[in-house]
């Protein structure tokens, strides 16, 4: 059975939020680690799996405001490991996908602290699974591209996407922000057709999951649920729009029949 090693740091993926989607190795580490430093997006249901005697600290962000600096997180990990404690740095989704893992790995390597990465299910895969929607398709989508709408502090904002988007690609935008108008404008300026399908998924693979869908032409005005949110763009998303349209049509016919009956 996996037991967290003393003096070692584990960068662990918590997955999209459903505890059942944790890897077995991640679960075993949470059950045995001395220290757990977690992101704010890791839900309470996952945190309940941590060993009751572990020191648990939130080092995430609220509304973009960090409780602690990134260098402060590095110090917490390094200091705990040097004291002979086992440390889990628990990150939402997969630690290597838009999770600042490169900075934390570099700090740990420089400090000569043993480190291991434990992968998790990233939000894009959880969203596709929850919608029973393949992100790739032999006929319409042979490419899968991940980008982020969030930029490092002090870095000039650049378009989320520039240049032609391959017709056979699914583009997944992590952290797109609450207002999709900038993303929509970037895609239109890049020449992405206005009739391409777009889906925004809120809190994928959790009980609070919701989604909204539209064409790129309407993306700027699209409203989504609470963060975290993903936006997926491409022809592979077409079944979601078709399904939503069918659902609306069914509801309309049901209401109309009810009115006629009354």
Active site residues: 39, 61, 175
Q: Which helix (H) or strand (E) holds 197?
A: strand 197-202
Q: How far is CA 47 from CA 55, 92, 118, 121, in A?
A: 12, 12, 17, 17
Q: What is the largest CA-CA distance in the chain?
A: 75
CB of 35 within 8 A of CB of 86? yes
Q: Tokens for 224?
A: 């989504």
Say if CB 157 and CB 175 are below 8 A apart: no
Residue whose pair of structure tokens reads 């799996």 in the numeric block: 49
The 3-state DSSP class for residue 122 equals: coil
The values of phi and psi at residue 137, to 5°, are -155, 135
Residue 135: which of 126, 122, 144 has the closest Cα?
Answer: 144
Residue in 118, 93, 90, 234 with CA at minimum distance from that of residue 174: 93
- DSSP 3-state assignment of 230? strand
Residue 181 C-alpha from the chain's centroid: 20
How many C-beta atoms surround the C-beta of residue 16 within 10 A?
A: 29
């Amino acid at each position: 059975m996996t037991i967290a090693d003393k003096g070692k740091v584990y960068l662990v993926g918590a997955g999209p939020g459903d505890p059942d989607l944790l890897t077995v190795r991640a679960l075993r580490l949470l059950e045995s680690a001395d220290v757990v430093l977690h992101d704010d997006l890791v839900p309470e249901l996952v945190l309940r799996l941590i060993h009751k005697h572990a020191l648990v600290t939130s080092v995430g962000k609220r509304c973009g405001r960090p409780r602690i600096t990134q260098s402060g997180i590095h110090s917490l990990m390094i200091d705990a490991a040097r004291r002979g404690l086992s440390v889990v740095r628990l990150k939402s989704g997969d630690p290597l996908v838009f999770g600042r893992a490169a900075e934390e790995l570099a700090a740990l390597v420089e400090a000569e602290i043993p480190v291991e990465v434990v992968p998790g299910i990233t939000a894009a895969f959880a969203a596709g699974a929850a919608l029973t929607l393949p992100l790739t398709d032999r006929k319409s989508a042979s490419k899968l591209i991940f980008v982020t709408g969030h930029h490092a502090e002090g870095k000039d904002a650049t378009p989320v996407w520039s240049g032609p988007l391959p017709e056979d690609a699914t583009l997944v935008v992590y952290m797109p922000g609450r207002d999709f108008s900038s993303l929509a404008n970037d895609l239109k300026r890049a020449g992405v057709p206005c009739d391409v399908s777009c889906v925004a998924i809120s809190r994928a693979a959790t009980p609070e999951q919701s989604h909204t869908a539209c064409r790129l032409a309407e993306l700027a005005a699209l409203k989504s649920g609470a963060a975290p949110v993903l936006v997926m763009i491409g022809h592979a998303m077409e079944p979601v729009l078709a399904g939503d349209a069918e659902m609306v049509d069914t509801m309309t016919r049901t209401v109309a029949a009810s009115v006629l009956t009354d």
